[in-house]
Amino acid sequence: MQLITLIPGDGIGPEITKAVTDIFAAAEVPVQWEEQNAGQTTFDASGELIPQALLDSLEKNRVGLKGPITTPVGKGFRSINVTLRQKYNLYQNVRPSKTTPGIASRYADSGIDLVLFRENTEGLYSGLEMYDEHNGIADSIARNTVVGARRICRAAFAYAAKHGRKKVTMAHKANILKVAGKVMLDAAQEAAREFPQIQYEEKIIDNMCMQLVIRPEQFDVIVTTNLFGDILSDLCAGLVGGLGVVAGANIGDDMAIFEAVHGSAPDIAGQGKANPTALLRSALMMLHHIGEHAKADQIEKALHLTLLDKSKCTGDLGGSASTSEFTQAIIGNLGK
């Protein structure tokens, strides 16, 4: 039994994590959950945003599944997501977007199958921020290190090589960001030389956005900085059915935390409307990570069968089923 740290999170978090644990139990997946929470709910109850017990659990188990977290707005609260990613050097944020039969999108027939590698610890999210109140000057510094740029670019190429992918696109703004941008570009070119069998191209981020909207099927693996990756991944989610269906993983050399791209969705929290597909797909990435490929494939098949029946799907997918009805339908399809 592999122990996994389970962080239910805030908002819709508990509803969608329950969907995943129910499906895993029904499929008899050999994992054992160790539940530890963080975020707004935990803060309201205990005054702690990230309890030490959660960190201890992650450091012991080295694998986590995390629901979305609300960081309280106000001075002195750093984003919990950013904190965990930086503390544990989870430098790869891997976000696949793929068109799936049954999931409506205006690109449904275009065969999108791309994987975004977002640098996850540096760039504009380094936390190097200053406000000079006297002069009204705000600085948010984008810090990219050579080590940080090299490891994310190399990871993108290594993934492409391992998974039979053909091309890596570096999305950047090195024409304007002469220093931080160039470090990323240099690192990508270096990785490209190491993997000559993988085609390599560079696109300036603004053009990249347009290209993604006009002809998304031309992209395969994309590698980019923290902020650009954050924005592009929501754009890519929109291409293939929205935030309710795309998975994500925060991966380092010795720890990985799997989580959906979306947030805590306060507008629909507690109403049984949340789509658990995104977190379930993140949990399937986790199963591949720990070597449980057969279980991952079995659950994915049941999910895909369920998605074909609109009446069993949640509202964001055009259906009217609740989170738990959708979950039960997936469980019902496990043996098929």
At closest approach, how far in Å is the CB of 266 from ligand NAI? 6
Taking the least distance from each CB to ligand NAI, the nearer of 123 and 181 is 123
DSSP track, 106-163: TTTTS--EEEEEEE-SSEEEEEEEEEETTTTEEEEEEE--HHHHHHHHHHHHHHHHHT
DSSP three-state, residue 96: strand
Residue 272 carries which DSSP code? T
Taking the least distance from each CB to ligand NAI, the nearer of 145 and 322 is 322
| Interface with ligand NAI, residue 97, by CB under 6 A | no
Taking the least distance from each CB to ligand NAI, the nearer of 122 and 316 is 316
Is 113 annotated as catalytic? no
Binding segment (CB under 6 A) for ligand NAI, from list 99-107, 220-228, 260-268, 302-310? 260-268
Place of tokens 């309710």: 244
- Rounded to whole angstroms, the Cα distance separating 209 from 324 reads 36
95 binds, among ligand NAI, Mg ion, none (CB under 5 to 8 A by kind): none
Is 230 annotated as catalytic? yes
Residue choice 41, 42, 57, 71 for contact with ligand NAI (CB under 6 A): 71
Taking the least distance from each CB to ligand NAI, the nearer of 157 and 258 is 258
**Per-residue mark of binding to Mg ion, 216-245 (x: CB under 5 A):** --------------x---------------
C-beta nearest to Mg ion: residue: 230
DSSP track, 31-84: EEEEE---SHHHHHHHS-SS-HHHHHHHHHH-EEEE---PPPPSTT---HHHHH
Assess contact for 103 and 245: CB atoms under 8 A.
yes
At closest approach, how far in Å is the CB of 183 from ligand NAI? 26
Residue 91 carries which DSSP code? -
298 binds, among ligand NAI, Mg ion, none (CB under 5 to 8 A by kind): none
C-beta nearest to ligand NAI: residue: 263
| Interface with ligand NAI, residue 14, by CB under 6 A | no
Assess contact for 205 and 185: CB atoms under 8 A.
no
**Per-residue mark of binding to ligand NAI, 238-257 (x: CB under 6 A):** -----xx-------------
Interface with ligand NAI in residues 263-292 (CB under 6 A)? 263-268, 274-275, 278
| Interface with Mg ion, residue 119, by CB under 5 A | no
- Rounded to whole angstroms, the Cα distance separating 287 from 292 reads 5
Give the residue from 66, 74, 94, 65 showing the smallest Cα distance to 264.
66
Q: Strand 113-119 vs strand 92-98: parallel, antiparallel, or unpaired?
A: antiparallel
| Interface with ligand NAI, residue 70, by CB under 6 A | yes
Place of tokens 């129910």: 22
Chain residues that interact with Mg ion, rule: CB under 5 A:
230
Chain residues that interact with ligand NAI, rule: CB under 6 A:
12, 68-71, 81, 243-244, 259, 262-268, 274-275, 278, 316
Which residues are marked as active site? 125, 173, 206, 230
